Structure 1
Amino acid sequence: MNFNLREIASASMILFAVIDIIGSIPIIISLRNKVGHIQSGKATLVAAAIMVAFLFIGEEILKLIGIDVNSFAVAGAFVLFFLAIEMILGIALYKDDEPESASIVPIAFPLIAGAGTMTALLSLRAEFHVENIIVAIIINIIFVYIVLKSSKAIERVLGRNGINIIRKVFGVILLAIAVKLFTSNINQLF
């Protein structure tokens, strides 16, 4: 076992920034108002299962189509870069249609375990040990569950401006992470 506190902390922060559950509180509140009760436990368990499964079979899928993890990490750095730009500037480069149901589909996937999270997981796999990434996923899933359960209270405490500030701060962190992923993996390709 290669448990490393620094790797766990780094992977946790990266996933926290990518999942952006705090920035998703307005979306969660809107879904809750639209469809009623959201099953927080079910949504977080499904999201965790998707992330862990993709962590293990994602690389095999890439090998099947002939792409190495470093190439995917460089591509992932671009995706994370654009996610960070969205967070910092408050613009939407990619937008899904509003879902009609808030069961598993809009919350667990793609809100929690979406394309950015999948990209981040495979990018992390290129740099960190798998067991540290799994611990980071568990830490984030616990936090996601707490946020889903108490999203209305969090919104009242932080207010709209507080949520926007947190979103922008994590956008800058995510931007720095994207640059680091790009520079550390681009050298491996040449």
Structure 2
Amino acid sequence: MMEIDLKEIITVSMVLFAVIDIVGSIPIVVDLKTKHGHIESEKASIVAGSIMIIFLFVGEELLKLIGIDVHSFAVAGSFVLFFLALEMILGVRIYRDDEASSASIVPIAFPLIAGAGTMTTLLSLKAEFQTLNIVFAIVLNIIIVYAVLKSSSKIEKMLGKNGLGVVRKAFGVVLLAIAVKLFAANVKGLFV
């Protein structure tokens, strides 16, 4: 039975907020704005939210099609989250994307907001939380993403470079703890 659980929504929202890392991406957004002009915050947010919700519903079926169970994907996802957390905490780049050629939907909505880490996280969360609560958490995060994209220049000036670094590292530690919990919760399912 599907029921709205505020605690689950808050937990999933925090996980997605840490993985999406929109505050940590402000320097990238500002740089894209400088290079390519106006960024369509509304369009980027709607496209990213749509990608995430669609993947939440068809991702598991896609896995079944290729013969992978949710527990295996969740354990693999915990490794991705672990390395994303290390990137955030240590300030190193482990995963590198190609340089964006324009500030259209492609570099902002995908892969910056709804990238590989976010997709992996969504399916990993689906193994532990109710789908309805995950959808609410996605919508909540997309609203935050929209607000941050709209006011990215102001936020960068307000927090400064050091402030952005502190926020990024703090969410990195949270993400690291979540990765460990996700691994521990799903590794048992591999041997059943």
| Same fold, judged at TM 0.5 (above) | yes
The superposition leaves residues 20-40 of structure 1 with CA deviations (integer Å, 9 ceiling, x where unpaired) of: 000000000000000000000
Q: Following TM superposition, by how much is the alpha carbon of 1:92 offset from its aligned partner in structure 2, in angstroms?
A: 0.3
Which runs of structure 2 are paired with 1:18-167 in the superposition (5 Å)?
18-167=19-168
Q: Following TM superposition, by how much is the alpha carbon of 1:189 offset from its aligned partner in structure 2, in angstroms?
A: 1.3
Q: Deviations over 1:65-117 (max 9, x none)?
A: 01011110000000000000000000001111221111110000000000000
**Could you list the runs of 4 or more consecutive aligned residues of structure 1 that deviate by over 6 angstroms after TM superposition?**
none
SS in 1 for 2:83: helix
In the alignment, the residues of structure 1 paired with residue 65 and residue 160 of structure 2 have an alpha-carbon distance, to the nearest angstrom, of: 47
* Runs of at least 5 residues in structure 2 that lack an aligned partner in the other structure: none
Instruction: Determine whether 1:11 maps to 2:12.
Output: yes
Identical-pair percentage: 68
Q: Which moved more, 1:95-104 or 1:47-56?
A: 95-104
Gaps (5+ residues) in structure 1? none
- Secondary structure of the equivalent of 1:21? coil
Q: Give the Cα separation in 1 of the matches to 2:115 and 2:109.
A: 8
TM-fit CA distance, 1:179: 0.1
SS of 1:2 mapped into structure 2 = coil
Write the distance in 2 (CA, Å) between the matches of 1:160 and 1:153: 13
In structure 1, C-alpha distance between the alignment counterparts of 2:73 and 2:97, rounded to whole Å: 24
Task: Give the TM-score normalised by structure 1.
Answer: 0.99
* Corresponding residue number in structure 2 for 1:183: 184
Query: How many equivalent pairs are there?
Result: 190
Per-residue CA distance 1:13-64 (angstroms, 9 max, x = gap): 0000000000000000000000000000000000000000000000000000
